[in-house]
Structure 1
Amino acid sequence: MKILLVSEYSRLHNSLKEGLQKLGHEVYILGHTDGFKDFPVDFPLVKKWDTGLLKKAKVAIYTIFGFDMSSYLTYRQFEKNKAKFTGFDVVQLINENSFYCQYYFEKKILEFLFQNNKKTFLLSSGYDYLNVKYCFENPTFKSAVQPFLLGKIKKSGFENILKYKTKPFEKLHQFIYSNIRGIIATDMDYHIPLIGISKYSSLIPNPINTKKLIFQPLSISNKVILFHGINESNYYKKGNDYFEKALHIIEKKYGSKVEIITTHNIPYLTYINLYDKAHVLMDQTYANDQGYNALEAMAKGKVVFTGAEKEFSEYYNLTDKVCINALPDVDYLVSELSFLVENPNEIIAIGKRARTFIEKEHDYIKIAEQYLETWKSK
């Protein structure tokens, strides 16, 4: 099959591509490289007029005329190379705003892809119309909507999620929904809101290329190393405020028994190598299941504080912890961290189970086979 994967912001599509290629398929990725993370793509799109004076000019033009220059320039890049994006057996969109464009230009790009390729599928691997609708209607459901409703995130810093509540993005959702063969969820955070939706195909776990993520059994001598990687743009959405407070208490409580490594906005390859010597990694507090960063750390045998609600454990029939379910609660986080610091053998045991879990449920070739089966059945 000839397959086009649209957009990348976690390495999901790169790992899926590697699995599909192992199975003999021709695969390309089109999209932005996602800023400082700098993920590889075959057909890169550059988001222009997005910094400095040009960004100020863009804002002014948008304020006066309602016209977004970045969207227009992304569309022009696509239009210039559109002959390369035809004749695919499958096109898969990473979400409902894969090109980060306004409704008008996003729709024009999608129209071309829908009309010039055989099948299109949509991933629910991030926020979209149906997911955001569910999260606001169910505020006890763990999601980034919770810190927003608590007033921790300003409206201006939440536009990338709030946009899905606007009429243009509702129209875009309806347009995409009427043209796709199916929706695929990548974990429980996206599966649960889609239950009962007619075009929902299934949950297919995130693919992890364990060949590129070497497992080294944890060894703890005189201190436990805790790693906290912060993406400033998602600071409150990921619950980093709770992690920082908890880690501060742990540092005071245990002193030289712990080492805490904190990073800010570093490229993907630097990030995954920096936490190599860590035993425990802080991921996010507002999740029901593991996102991509957590899964890759688990593949390396780290103990990860992330989403692991009962729906996750029940889905995979787990009886022992493969990670720590994180909550937006400082006292709870301190308690869980304290237990690990005082029981290093448990860190080693969870780390081993984490790697085994990834190999069993997230192997990139097995996952690629699940995608192929779903694509062919629709």
Structure 2
Amino acid sequence: MIKNICFIMGISLERMVLPLQLKIKKKNDFLILGSLCNNDLLLASQLTKMGFKIKIIRYRSEVDKLEDILLDDLGIDRKIITIYETKLSFIKECFSSRVIFNFSGSLVFFLGKYLFLLKFYFFPPVISYITGSDLMEEPFQKNLISRLYRFLFKNSYLLCLVPMKSYIAALKKLHIDRISFVRHPFLILKDKKIKKQKIKDTSKIIFAHISNIDWGESDNKAYRESTKGSDKFIRAFIRASRQFSNIKCIILDRGPDAINAKKIIEAANCSAFDWFPPCSQGELYKIFDKADVIIDQFDLGAFGGIAIEGMSYGKSLLTYADDLYLKGMFYNDTPPIFNASSENEILEKITYIAENPNILKDIGIKSKEWVIRNYDNSINFIDIFTMLDSKYGFNFLSKCLKKK
């Protein structure tokens, strides 16, 4: 019936139903799912200041000891954060909210087989911010989870992501065009109240490989568009460590190719790597404090959360960012990074750093200034709502506030 009315009026079903959804009186204006580097707190802080009622739902494993510092820094009441319990209680929260903001695949795991509710006319509109394997790998496998991911992406009112070649290729395969290219949102603390670490050997330049170790050897499947290229860094660092005794690498034991990385390092009889277990975000800041250079990826061509987080802490960054990403996202404001992709290029950058350690402090200062300039709390997410206004022809946020 509703579809027939929309057809006669010559408007889309979404354009007709969405204003009605936003006007209905609900307990919460926004329901935020998942954390993604604590960006749920960042979004909640922005929307709370704008006068909206917010609720955050997380998995228990996403709660971190660092959270009290973050909540205090952002002025957020801890009461708005709840832990996921059952599907029934979660569905009730969904229908008690005007808009759902979903980070990565949170909604897939919270709803599971009940994800079909997204098709229900008066289920709240879903905005999904997606990154990494959630887009490039999960939708292309042959299992139930993959079908749920595809269903979520195709039934979200808007998909928000950074402009990466591999992301664009994946979207074409999925035939999805309701997208908004935005900068990877990131929470920048004005004053990180983290206890300083005692560094035993200050003569060493510390490189920190915190990202997943992945180059496609352990899961080299046809649906994969790219990897992190971790092996190129590991091989380059082994070569550099034979020439320079003043470098060391902290490397987290995580990712599909971690075992293969250990084999390469052991075969080379290299003692320049210190392995650390996977850690919480609070522990991660301690590693940032020890490090001089943060390592991200050498294949994707864009910054991950680790890259921005490390730079915001005043650290130098060694990674690969391609021209499409740099020009499309930052125009003429080029980030102060060590940009490399091939093993030889990475070796050249490590060599330059080892020979010129005094440059790192200045680059670290410039890195932090650049992140604050490009990722400050006040500029994130607003573009998302501007895109919704353009697509649906009205002020999205104003509609949410109409009930007041």
TM class by smaller structure? 0.5 to 0.7
Counterparts of 1:331 and 1:266 in 2: how far apart (Å)? 30
Aligned length: 310
Q: Kindly indicate whether residue 216 of structure 2 is the aligned counterpart of residue 203 of structure 1.
A: no
Name 1:150's counterpart in structure 2.
Answer: none
Q: Kindly indicate whether residue 72 of structure 2 is the aligned counterpart of residue 45 of structure 1.
A: no
Name 2:77's counterpart in structure 1.
Answer: none
Shift of 1:214: 7.8
Q: Which amino acid aligns with 2:206?
A: I
Name 1:254's counterpart in structure 2.
Answer: 244
* Structure 1 unaligned regions, length at least 5: 47-76, 133-160
Q: Kindly indicate whether residue 362 of structure 2 is the aligned counterpart of residue 323 of structure 1.
A: no
Name 1:95's counterpart in structure 2.
Answer: 104
Please give the residue correspondences for 1:1-150 in structure 2 after superposition, counting only pairs within 5 Å: 2-33=29-60, 42-45=81-84, 77-96=86-105, 98-100=107-109, 106-109=112-115, 111=117, 117-128=123-134, 131-132=135-136
Q: Which amino acid aligns with 1:260?
A: C
Asked if 2 retains the 8 angstrom alpha-carbon contact of 1:123 and 1:183, the reply is yes
Identity over the aligned pairs, expressed in percent?
17
**Cα displacement string for residues 275-312 of structure 1 (whole angstroms, at most 9, x for unaligned residues):** 21321011222221111111010111211123311112
| Secondary structure of 2:30 counterpart | strand
Q: Kindly indicate whether residue 378 of structure 2 is the aligned counterpart of residue 365 of structure 1.
A: yes
Q: Which amino acid aligns with 1:13?
A: D
- Structure showing greater radius of gyration is 2
| Secondary structure of 2:373 counterpart | helix
**Cα displacement string for residues 291-350 of structure 1 (whole angstroms, at most 9, x for unaligned residues):** 1111010111211123311112212124654222342x4332221111122223442343
- Note closer, same or farther for the CA distance 1:224–1:233 as it changes in structure 2 (3 Å cut): closer
Q: Which amino acid aligns with 2:336?
A: V
Q: Kindly indicate whether residue 159 of structure 2 is the aligned counterpart of residue 183 of structure 1.
A: yes
Shift of 1:268: 1.6
Q: Which amino acid aligns with 1:261?
A: I
Counterparts of 2:387 and 2:293 in 1: how far apart (Å)? 35
Counterparts of 1:320 and 1:297 in 2: how far apart (Å)? 17
- Note closer, same or farther for the CA distance 1:22–1:358 as it changes in structure 2 (3 Å cut): farther
Shift of 1:205: 3.3
Asked if 1 retains the 8 angstrom alpha-carbon contact of 2:29 and 2:99, the reply is yes
Counterparts of 1:8 and 1:81 in 2: how far apart (Å)? 16
| Secondary structure of 1:337 counterpart | helix
**Cα displacement string for residues 100-130 of structure 1 (whole angstroms, at most 9, x for unaligned residues):** 37xxx624145169655442112222334xx
Asked if 2 retains the 8 angstrom alpha-carbon contact of 1:4 and 1:30, the reply is yes
| Secondary structure of 2:104 counterpart | coil
* Structure 2 unaligned regions, length at least 5: 1-27, 68-79, 218-226, 252-275, 393-404
Counterparts of 1:344 and 1:300 in 2: how far apart (Å)? 18
Shift of 1:97: 6.2
